[in-house]
């Protein structure tokens, strides 16, 4: 059964509270009510997926060390999460997932 809006918000708020003051959330963490997401700097975001899991997505150009530090933090604090596909941001500041650009990839 999908989570209610209040439950999704509470799950993200718990992570937001945990993230405060943590160096692993490089660039800071902001709560985006309009997206129902937590944004980490300009390189990652968390949202609640359709089955209620905390979904983590990284920018395609995110630094591997930052990615490792953040995921290690989540594991050490026993925060269950799933990794989702990477994303980029287009010229209109819209998030574009890897699967959305599949038609632009060269044939092999």
Whole-number pLDDT of residue 15? 96
Residues 85, 59: Cα–Cα separation, whole Å:
9
- For residue 41, the tally of other CB atoms under 10 A from its CB is 16
Q: pLDDT, tens digit, for every residue of 58-88?
A: 998 899 999 999 999 999 999 999 999 888 8
Is the residue at 24 inside a domain? yes
Number of domains composing the chain: 1
pLDDT band at 41 (very low <50, low <70, confident <90, very high): very high
Task: Give bridge partners of residue 95 from the DSSP assignment.
Answer: 89
What is the pTM for the complete model shown?
A: 0.80
Is the residue at 107 inside a domain? no
- Quick one: how many helices (H) and strands (E) in the chain? 2, 7
Question: Which domain range does residue 36 map to?
Answer: 5-102
Is the residue at 108 inside a domain? no
């Amino acid at each position: 059964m999908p989570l209610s809006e209040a439950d999704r918000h509470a799950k993200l708020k718990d992570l937001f509270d945990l993230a405060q003051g943590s160096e692993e959330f490089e660039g800071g963490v902001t709560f985006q009510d309009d997206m129902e997401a937590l944004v980490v700097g300009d390189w990652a975001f968390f949202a609640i997926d359709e089955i209620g899991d905390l979904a983590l997505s990284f920018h395609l150009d995110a630094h591997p060390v930052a990615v490792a530090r953040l995921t290690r933090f989540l594991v050490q604090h026993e925060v269950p999460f799933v990794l989702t596909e990477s994303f980029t941001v287009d010229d209109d500041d819209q998030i574009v997932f890897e699967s959305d650009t599949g038609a632009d990839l060269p044939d092999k």
